[in-house]
Amino acid sequence: MRVCIAGAAGAFGMKHLEAISAIEGAEVVSVVGGSNLEKIKAFAAEHNIPHYTTDLAESLARDDVDCVILATPTQVHAAQVKQCLKAGKHVQTEIPMADNIEDAKEIVALQKETGLVAMAGHTRRFNPSHQWIHNKIQAGELNVLQMDVQTYFFRRTNTNAKGEARSWTDHLLWHHACHTVDLFQYQTGETATQVQAMQGPIHPDLGIALDMSIGMKVPSGALCTLSLSFNNDGPFGTFFRYICDNGTYIARYDDLEDGKGNPIDLSGVAVSFNGIELQDREFFAAIREGREPNSSLSQCYPAMETLDQLEKCLEAAQ
């Protein structure tokens, strides 16, 4: 599996590069950087990658590229997904697939038209902690009554997960909330029919709210409460509390414990504890097997619809 990573030198591009190094039969053959050609040239040399460019179209034209992973700014995801599919390349885009419902509709339709594998990077579906919960639900051993989720960072300046200056603005709703909206609907097997959202003041420089509160309810009655902040001065990350009919569980990325703090053994859940690696393994397997992957654009589209409804709540409150 010969892979191109666009945005390879960024925080999540590096995560995919490291993940692919652990996957037998997969290699990165091309990397796409921003406007600084010398920077991506040096990056390619450091990681022994044969091709580098600042133009995605150049990589898409190569016969030795089977698929593309987009770890690029949110605002260009949809346009680049279209570009990859029209070039005949399978594509996985980092979350979210789009930052508006119209673009999401277009790329889902284009995937169906081309028949190529197109996947969104909803890593929570692949983290062993959340997989363990999902397996219990599928086996009829658990039902989610409520999910209480906190997504907290300290980003009062425009920086990425590596603390480096970012050329684009992140968003609590269309990026960070997208993880939890999709996970809640994935774990319950339902789409939210009641939603509510509130946000704090708009930051004068970043142009986005740094605090947000979201509520969702699915037809079965399960609830999700999500608090998000870029004002939180540690600890950082996303923390999930599953309140179920048969136990309470707290997930922190790839770790899981019960409500009393006892760790859950996840060693038999998957071949790795790395959610990004498991996500990339699914992408490559779906291409090889000619099937729809878990976290396909079509599967994740309901999350886009829910985000659109939440955005309308925020707009109505302004």
* Residue at 22 is within a domain: yes
Query: ∠ at Cα 34 (29, 39), nearest 5°?
Result: 75
Mean pLDDT of 289-306: 98
Residues 212 and 72 in one domain: no
**pLDDT above 80 for 318:** no
Residues 117 and 164 in one domain: no
pLDDT at 155: 78
Residues 60 and 74 in one domain: yes
Residues 40 and 63 in one domain: yes
Render pLDDT for 111-165 as a digit per residue (tens, 0 to 9).
Answer: 999 999 999 999 999 999 999 999 999 999 999 999 999 999 887 876 666 666 6
Residues 175 and 199 in one domain: yes
Share of the chain above pLDDT 90, in %: 87
pLDDT at 163: 67
Render pLDDT for 63-99 as a digit per residue (tens, 0 to 9).
Answer: 999 999 999 999 999 999 999 999 999 999 999 999 9
* Residue at 201 is within a domain: yes
Residues 220 and 233 in one domain: yes
Map tokens 């999540």 to a residue. Answer: 12
Q: Name the phi and psi angles at 31, rounded to 5.
A: -130, 145
Per the CB < 8 A criterion, the answer to whether 266 and 273 are in contact is yes
Length of the chain: 318
Residues 89 and 20 in one domain: yes
Residues 193 and 236 in one domain: yes
Domain count, the chain: 2
Per the CB < 8 A criterion, the answer to whether 148 and 216 are in contact is no
pLDDT band at residue 184 under the 50/70/90 scheme:
very high
Beta partners for residue 69, in sequence order: 5, 92
pLDDT at 35: 86
Pick 237 or 101 by higher pLDDT: 101
Render pLDDT for 10-42 as a digit per residue (tens, 0 to 9).
Answer: 989 999 999 999 999 999 999 999 989 999 999
**pLDDT above 70 for 168:** no
What DSSP string runs through 54-68? S-HHHHHT-TT--EE
Mean pLDDT of 215-236: 95
Other CB atoms closer than 10 Å to residue 291's CB: what's the count?
Answer: 11
221 contacts: CB under 8 Å, gap ≥ 6? 145
Per the CB < 8 A criterion, the answer to whether 17 and 28 are in contact is yes
* Residue at 112 is within a domain: yes
What DSSP string runs through 152-176? E-B-SSSB-TTS-B-SS---IIIII
* Residue at 45 is within a domain: yes
pLDDT at 208: 86
Domain CATH for 242: 3.30.360.10
pLDDT band at residue 170 under the 50/70/90 scheme:
confident
Residues 20 and 166 in one domain: no
Is residue 317 left, alpha or beta, with left meaning phi > 0 and alpha meaning psi from -120 to 50? alpha
pLDDT averaged over every residue in the chain: 94
pTM for the structure as a whole: 0.94
Domain CATH for 38: 3.40.50.720
* Residue at 298 is within a domain: no
230 contacts: CB under 8 Å, gap ≥ 6? 153, 154, 155, 156, 172, 210, 211
3 contacts: CB under 8 Å, gap ≥ 6? 20, 26, 27, 28, 29, 30, 65, 66, 67, 68, 69
pLDDT band at residue 167 under the 50/70/90 scheme:
low
Per the CB < 8 A criterion, the answer to whether 108 and 133 are in contact is no
Query: ∠ at Cα 148 (146, 152), nearest 5°?
Result: 165
Find the helix or strand (DSSP H, E) in which 110 lies: helix 101-114
Mean pLDDT of 156-181: 78
pLDDT at 136: 98
* Residue at 17 is within a domain: yes
- The domain containing residue 88 runs over which residues? 2-123+276-293
Residues 52 and 129 in one domain: no
Pick 253 or 116 by higher pLDDT: 116
* Residue at 235 is within a domain: yes
Find the helix or strand (DSSP H, E) in which 29 lies: strand 27-32
* Residue at 178 is within a domain: yes
Residues 283 and 219 in one domain: no
Residues 87 and 28 in one domain: yes
